[in-house]
Chains A and B, each alone.
Chain A
Amino acid sequence: MTTFYRLNLLPPHPSLPFFRMKLKPNIATSDAGFIFNPATGDSFAANPLAADILARTKTGQDAAAIKADILERYDVAPGQLEKDWDDLLAQLRDFNLLD
């Protein structure tokens, strides 16, 4: 944490926009995991779990609830899920799909 302050960067906090999984409003998604960005013409394929997560975020479920549900249903350790969640966020950000 101290490092963040010293470098004059904000400490990570889940409520900051940077860490929220919110797709841009114009992005179209399908249940099968197809994602389309009409602004750029780019399309993407999400694997089943990523598609599920995106569908739930669209209905307004919050991250904590989605993660708790995944942990209950899937054979995955919490630490691994956290890491993969951040990774998914980074991919969405990279592809310019986040609000």
Chain B
Amino acid sequence: MKLPYERPTIRKLTAGALNKFGPRAGATPTTALDGVRVEELVARFGSPLFVLSERQLRRSYQAAVRAFGTRYPQVQLAWSYKTNYLNAVCRTFHQEGAWAEVVSGMELEKALLNGVPGPHILFNGPGKRRADLERACAVAAVIHLDNADELHLLLDVAASRPAPPRVALRVNLDAGSYPQWDRFGFNLENGEAWQALSRVVASGRLELVGLHCHIGTYVLQPSAYATAAAQLAALALRCQRKLKTTVQYLDLGGGFPSTNTLKGAYLPATDTVPSLDEYAEAITGALLAAGFRTGELPLLVLEAGRALVDDAGSLIGTVLATKRLADGRRATILDFGVNLLFTSFWYDHHISPARQFSDQTEPTVLYGPLCMNIDMLRESIALPLLSAGDQVVVHKVGAYNMSQWQQFINLRPNVVLIDQTSQVHLVRAAETLEYLQQLEQVPVHLQS
């Protein structure tokens, strides 16, 4: 039996460099995911490989329902499709009771194919076309109006509908968070939202059922949600008073952070990000205090994306090479880059080795396999002495990566779901060259 090998290395000792997280920070291995060994996953499905945990998907969903449901009588989550629209993920949430929140005709069709009834689909987004609106009307989805042109287009579509389409108004407002998202929906402060609401009701051709507000993403201040909820509630009460219209639901959108650490943050997010309970307390507190009569509280809808799915995704990858840069820094090249891990533009992802190493770590730059300068996953991370062939696991990659991944230089890899009994299911097969070329056509004069 030979001794385990670790490449020889030396490290300069600098005064004060012994950090408070200890020498093993970043070196704790992740040898298995939901009871399945990383080595086995790679042997069966290759590398890189996205791994989804069904257990964690359900756990996060139930935690969100609990956080809001224990504080407010009527709560409904609508799964934000763009965050991760792999059908296995969507269906897990739908099984748990989620509606669908979609932002394009394609996502609308996806939700329908996943068995979501039209009235449980909330159609957001600034880019709805006439055909999208017609389709949404036909399946009785709720259209969240974004702008005045869209409102007029819908009024036109509605003229030939047997029943008035159900709509909600997307409102943007100053909730005290930065940056203020004012490009989506109708502004509250300048009166635009009220004008649109009046027009919707006066038209007699649309049924106003909800008010919507999504203040941003990875919003770190629960108080901003309290402001938004209070404003939206006040608007609903005004609709009741002045327009004699009862708003059935208030949709506070998503935007709750996950525990991924933002780039440049001094402390890890696990130490600084408010819990979902704090957001729930802020929102429900504001709604309960808004002045609705008992029994007339509107349904509270939430479109949490990131907070429900980020923790449930991992990305396994392999070291292709290690090298030293001109200034002596270590660089490690992995078989995945920003093509698969879009969120590395936002986060300092937590990355673990997939096997046990000694206590020795070294700082390294992590690069992906693309020949592009932007393809950097971490500027500096302390990792054990990885060599070509070693595996790593990137944690909390469930949100936005499996929808924003790029087919650039490399094809997209396998995605598996580990179910609650630790069975592994392939939920999206690795792309092939044939798949890539399927839609291409070569003009005749270029064929010979």
Residues of chain A touching chain B, judged by Cβ–Cβ distance below 8 Å, are 33, 35, 42-50, 52-53, 73-76, 80, 84-85, 87-88, 90-92, 94-95
Contact = CB atoms under 8 A, between A and B. Distances in A.
A49 B9 CA distance: 8
Interface in B309-324: 322, 324
5 contacts: A48-B358, A49-B6, A73-B2, A74-B4, A91-B328
A53 B8 contact: yes
B388 A49 contact: no
Interface of B: 2-13, 322, 324, 328, 358, 360, 385, 387-388
Contacts of A52: 8
A48 B328 CA distance: 21
Contact of A44 (B5, B10, B322, B324): B10
A88 B5 contact: no
A50 B5 contact: no
Contacts of B13: 42-45
A50 B328 CA distance: 17
Contacts of A92: 10
Contacts of A94: 324, 328
Contact of A87 (B6, B7, B11, B358): B7
B9 A91 contact: yes
Given A47-B385, A87-B7, 11 more contacts: A43-B12, A43-B13, A46-B8, A47-B9, A47-B358, A48-B6, A50-B9, A52-B8, A75-B4, A75-B5, A95-B12
Contact of A49 (B7, B324, B387): B7
A52 B8 CA distance: 9
Given A80-B388, A95-B10, A95-B12, A73 B3 contact: yes
Contacts of B2: 73-75
Contacts of B7: 49, 80, 84, 87-88
Interface of A is mostly: helix
Contacts of A53: 8
Contacts of A35: 10
A62 B29 CA distance: 36
Given A74-B3, A91-B324, A50 B8 contact: yes
A76 B390 CA distance: 13
A9 B349 CA distance: 43
A45 B11 contact: yes
A86 B360 CA distance: 19
Main secondary structure of the interface of B (DSSP, over half): loop
A43 B14 CA distance: 8
A95 B329 CA distance: 12
B10 A87 contact: no
Contacts of A74: 2-5
Given A75-B3, A80-B388, A49 B8 contact: yes
Contacts of B360: 47
Contacts of A88: 7-10
Contacts of B8: 46-47, 49-50, 52-53, 84-85, 88
A95 B9 CA distance: 12
Nearest to A35: B10
Contacts of A85: 8
A9 to B, nearest CB: 18
Nearest to A79: B388
A91 B11 CA distance: 9
Contacts of A84: 7-8, 387
A53 B7 CA distance: 11
Contacts of B11: 44-46
Nearest to B361: A47
A53 B387 CA distance: 19
A45 B10 contact: yes
A42 B328 CA distance: 16
A38 to B, nearest CB: 15
Nearest to B8: A50
A22 B8 CA distance: 16
A87 to B, nearest CB: 7
Nearest to A95: B12
Contacts of B9: 46-47, 50, 87-88, 91
A33 B12 CA distance: 12
Nearest to A50: B8
Contacts of B322: 87
A12 B165 CA distance: 77
A36 to B, nearest CB: 9
Contacts of A46: 8-11
Contacts of A87: 7, 9, 322, 324
A59 B7 CA distance: 21
Nearest to B3: A74
Contacts of B385: 47
